[in-house]
A and B are shown apart, each in its own frame.
Chain A
Amino acid sequence: MDNKKKEKIFTIALVGNPNSGKTVIFNNLTGSRQHVGNWPGVTVEKKEGKLFYRKRIINVIDLPGIYSLNAQSEDEKVARDYLVFNKPDVVVNIIDSSNLERNLYLTTMLLEMGMNVVIALNMYDECNARKIKIDIKKLTDILRIPVVPTIATKKIGMKELISKIYEVMLNPSKCNLEIKYKSEIESDLDFMENMIKDYLTDSVDYPARWIALKLIEGEPELVKQIVKSLPEIITNKRKEIINNIENSSGEDVYVLISESRYDFIKNIIRDVIIHDNEESVTSVSDKIDRIVTNKFLGIPIFLIIMFGIFAITFKLGDPLKGWIEVFFEWLSKIASAGLTNLGAPGLLISLITKGIIGGLGSVLVFLPNIFLLFLAISLLEDSGYMARAAYVIDRFMHLFGLHGKAFIPLLIGFGCNVPAVMATRTLDNKKDRLITILINPLMSCSARLPVYILFTGVFFKKSQSLIVFSLYILGILLAIIMAFILNRFIYKGEEESFFIMELPPYRVPTIKEHFNSYVGKRQCLY
């Protein structure tokens, strides 16, 4: 048995809210041994890496930042499905300590699933700044899982975290913390749990209570994927229970379940947070926000920063782009000369110089712009400003049926549409993202300007500049119309678009972290 354990390659998954420092912890655990790809069938990034510890290789997978395992958005679905069907050996739940209450919601859902959880209480230094003290021992006792305070950006607590992960990995404890739900639900839940124990024998891998919960919460499809078929007696009882609860309480079952989880969390918070002076401390973040989202300064600051991003991407990137073009031309010439000398047939020379080298060159030539743009965007995201940018400009964007976060991709589109479309990954909602991508080409990119100038020079010599300007405007107007049409008619049925978005505290982004992730991201492009 021991030999088998030594052979087995364990997998751990990182789960946590966005802005909780998950990426930094992932980088700390895996260093440069990471690989960025895509989850099949969806537009969600997949990050995997390897951790070496005590002569073992441990697979580390970084699941997308999520607020719950509801499986509503693509991110949530990817994370939830991975946890249910791939069953990682350990789940590392990364929590923003200064925001314990909301972060614990995800934790409760992980515990419901019966996962082996280790909590990384990250950004622990911010607690002191906010005058919040967390009783870690008490939290550990209540949740019955290890809780490790960490400050990932300073690499503090990482050793303890890895050692606790290792412990749990080799000795998975069935803690099975049972959350008590509201009285309207508890007795029915118990009944359903017992029914499942009696009637479903092929679901021993999952806690019966969790399966019962999923059935009542309104996720029978998920359960069907696990057990293949539900006996009629269970589906009937399920409908009966849901009807009873909804009629007597006047509320949907999933709402009552959510509220129960928050009640559970409130009790924990009461016992575990010793000092909470959120009233008296006006944090640094608030002070910055007073300026940045100020009625008068807000938009000017926003425009300056947007211009800055545009400038970094193109003013810095274009010279580098030029070098790459020159390099590939040179390579092409050398190859051509060399192959001709060797007496290669014309078709082969053409294939290599224009096809392979030329093709590779025309893709790689975008690399500097994309790299710089992504660097700029991720600095904005990590500092916390990106959320404010979307917040400030959303009203304007929403007039056209777009999301505040669509501003940057559309702006960049005036420089070059390729990095612009890639920049739409900041949009969380699939519908918003699709529409922004589709209208992006209507933003006249810089490569078209010479063409505009050429044609207007011939056909509209008199009012050349006016016509060129109106071509840009025409593009924008068409984009607005198309956005409207796509929103109203074509993508009507897609997941509802909303703005509801967290404004995370401002933080200092570390440049080192970015280079690590960007090496990874560059790999993923190609």
Chain B
Amino acid sequence: MSKSDFLNLALEDYLKAMLNIYDSEKIIKVSEIAKKLNISKASVTQTIAKLKKLGFVNQESYGPVTLTFTGMETAKRIRDKNKLIKKFLTEILDVDDKIAERDACLIEHVLSITTINKMYEFLKKIEKLNDENYFGKINIDAKEEEIMETIKVKTLKELGKGHKGKIIKVAAKSAIKKRFLEMGVTNGSEIEITGIAPLGDPIEVLIRGYKLSLRKSEAADIFVEEINK
């Protein structure tokens, strides 16, 4: 699976790659992740920062990366999701192994947990599944659904003019977080980017019916899930 297959590597791919590196080498180095995903170390570092804020990884300054408990669980589920889809494609639809591998990598980003569970149940029913390999049926638990959904987020900085999003997490330092809260920037509120200053920074957003401006560096702390208009 290479970068050319799709435009943006999802956070899921990072977690999957990290888990694989962990299994074979125990130590997750930024350089290893970059090699595995075929991207620059700089891109990896940026995303690690994001994953850290979301609570999936930990990293001592410039040291190796470690997966947190949540990160580990999520990564395992993502890997199993991938394995499950691949199994479904090869066993049921008789798709060629290499193609199934590539397709599974793409499909896993868009399929809902409900559908994946149905695949699981189907494969179990016709006895094509060996339980020991799998992390278990993916439970449709509210929190898990949240975690899985969280992986499809962007920061407000990346959202782009004219785009709308729903705020998932405000991961700022406490002084700035309090400022955000008093201005109405809270989890669950809708936010739309309505403009950018002539010099490229700050940006203007529409929130709770009024216009707010903030620097891109401040917007980078706000995680949103994009909503289609």
Binding site for B on A (CB under 8 A): 67-68, 70, 72, 98-102, 105, 250, 252, 254-255, 258-259, 262, 276, 278, 289, 293-296, 298-299, 387, 391-396, 398, 495-496, 498-504
**What 0/1 pattern do residues 174 to 204 of B give for CB contact below 8 A with A?**
1111111111101111000001011111101
Q: Which residues of B contact A496 (CB under 8 A)?
A: 173, 175-176
The answer to whether A101 touches B184, judged by C-beta atoms less than 8 angstroms apart, is yes
Q: CA A98 – CA B211 in complex, angstroms?
A: 12
Min C-beta distance of B224 to chain A, whole Å? 16
The answer to whether B178 touches A99, judged by C-beta atoms less than 8 angstroms apart, is no
The answer to whether A255 touches B204, judged by C-beta atoms less than 8 angstroms apart, is no
The answer to whether B182 touches A394, judged by C-beta atoms less than 8 angstroms apart, is no
For residue B208, CB closer than 8 A to chain A, the reply is yes
Assign chain B's interface to a size class. Answer: 35 or more
* Nearest residue, chain B, Cβ from A499: B215
* Nearest residue, chain A, Cβ from B55: A250
The answer to whether A102 touches B198, judged by C-beta atoms less than 8 angstroms apart, is no
The answer to whether A394 touches B209, judged by C-beta atoms less than 8 angstroms apart, is no
For residue B106, CB closer than 8 A to chain A, the reply is no
Min C-beta distance of B136 to chain A, whole Å? 23
Q: Which residues of A contact B181 (CB under 8 A)?
A: 68, 254-255, 258
The answer to whether B202 touches A102, judged by C-beta atoms less than 8 angstroms apart, is no
Min C-beta distance of A111 to chain B, whole Å? 16
Min C-beta distance of B183 to chain A, whole Å? 6
The answer to whether B214 touches A254, judged by C-beta atoms less than 8 angstroms apart, is no
Q: CA A100 – CA B181 in complex, angstroms?
A: 16
Min C-beta distance of B172 to chain A, whole Å? 9
Q: Decide yes or no: A72 and B201 within 8 Å by CB, A99-B209, A105-B184, A398-B215 being known contacts.
A: no
The answer to whether B199 touches A72, judged by C-beta atoms less than 8 angstroms apart, is no
The answer to whether B218 touches A500, judged by C-beta atoms less than 8 angstroms apart, is yes
The answer to whether B199 touches A396, judged by C-beta atoms less than 8 angstroms apart, is yes
Q: Decide yes or no: A499 and B213 within 8 Å by CB, A258-B186, A262-B184 being known contacts.
A: yes
Extra 18 A-B pairs, beta carbons < 8 Å, given A102-B210, A392-B198: A70-B178, A72-B179, A252-B174, A254-B178, A289-B195, A293-B197, A296-B198, A298-B197, A298-B198, A391-B197, A394-B197, A395-B197, A496-B175, A498-B179, A500-B179, A501-B213, A502-B213, A504-B211
Min C-beta distance of A322 to chain B, whole Å? 39
**What 0/1 pattern do residues 214 to 227 of B give for CB contact below 8 A with A?**
11001000000000
Min C-beta distance of A500 to chain B, whole Å? 5
* Nearest residue, chain A, Cβ from B216: A395
Q: Decide yes or no: A502 and B212 within 8 Å by CB, A392-B198, A496-B173 being known contacts.
A: yes
Min C-beta distance of A13 to chain B, whole Å? 19
The answer to whether A502 touches B211, judged by C-beta atoms less than 8 angstroms apart, is yes
The answer to whether A395 touches B201, judged by C-beta atoms less than 8 angstroms apart, is yes
Q: Which residues of A contact B178 (CB under 8 A)?
A: 70, 72, 254
The answer to whether A502 touches B183, judged by C-beta atoms less than 8 angstroms apart, is yes
Q: CA A101 – CA B206 in complex, angstroms?
A: 13
Q: Which residues of A contact B176 (CB under 8 A)?
A: 496, 498, 500
The answer to whether A503 touches B187, judged by C-beta atoms less than 8 angstroms apart, is no
Q: Which residues of B contact A498 (CB under 8 A)?
A: 175-176, 179, 214-215, 218
Q: Decide yes or no: A102 and B215 within 8 Å by CB, A259-B187, A298-B198 being known contacts.
A: no
Min C-beta distance of B73 to chain A, whole Å? 14
* Nearest residue, chain A, Cβ from B169: A251
The answer to whether B213 touches A102, judged by C-beta atoms less than 8 angstroms apart, is no
Min C-beta distance of B198 to chain A, whole Å? 4
The answer to whether A503 touches B173, judged by C-beta atoms less than 8 angstroms apart, is no
The contact sample of 7 A-B pairs, CB cut-off 8 A, is A99-B208, A252-B174, A258-B186, A259-B187, A298-B197, A391-B202, A500-B176
Q: CA A392 – CA B214 in complex, angstroms?
A: 11
Q: Which residues of A contact B184 (CB under 8 A)?
A: 101-102, 105, 262
Q: Decide yes or no: A101 and B208 within 8 Å by CB, A72-B178, A294-B198, A394-B197 being known contacts.
A: yes
5 smallest beta-carbon distances between A and B, as pairs: A298-B198, A68-B182, A395-B199, A503-B211, A258-B181
Q: Which residues of B contact A278 (CB under 8 A)?
A: 209
The answer to whether A293 touches B199, judged by C-beta atoms less than 8 angstroms apart, is no
B183, B199, B209: the one within 8 Å of A67 (CB) = B183
The answer to whether A293 touches B183, judged by C-beta atoms less than 8 angstroms apart, is no
Q: Which residues of B contact A391 (CB under 8 A)?
A: 197, 202, 204, 213
Min C-beta distance of A494 to chain B, whole Å? 11
The answer to whether B218 touches A387, judged by C-beta atoms less than 8 angstroms apart, is no
The answer to whether A501 touches B214, judged by C-beta atoms less than 8 angstroms apart, is yes
* Nearest residue, chain A, Cβ from B198: A298
The answer to whether B212 touches A503, judged by C-beta atoms less than 8 angstroms apart, is yes
Q: Which residues of A contact B204 (CB under 8 A)?
A: 293, 391, 503
The answer to whether A499 touches B212, judged by C-beta atoms less than 8 angstroms apart, is no
Q: Which residues of A contact B214 (CB under 8 A)?
A: 498-501
* Nearest residue, chain A, Cβ from B180: A500
Min C-beta distance of B190 to chain A, whole Å? 11
* Nearest residue, chain B, Cβ from A391: B213
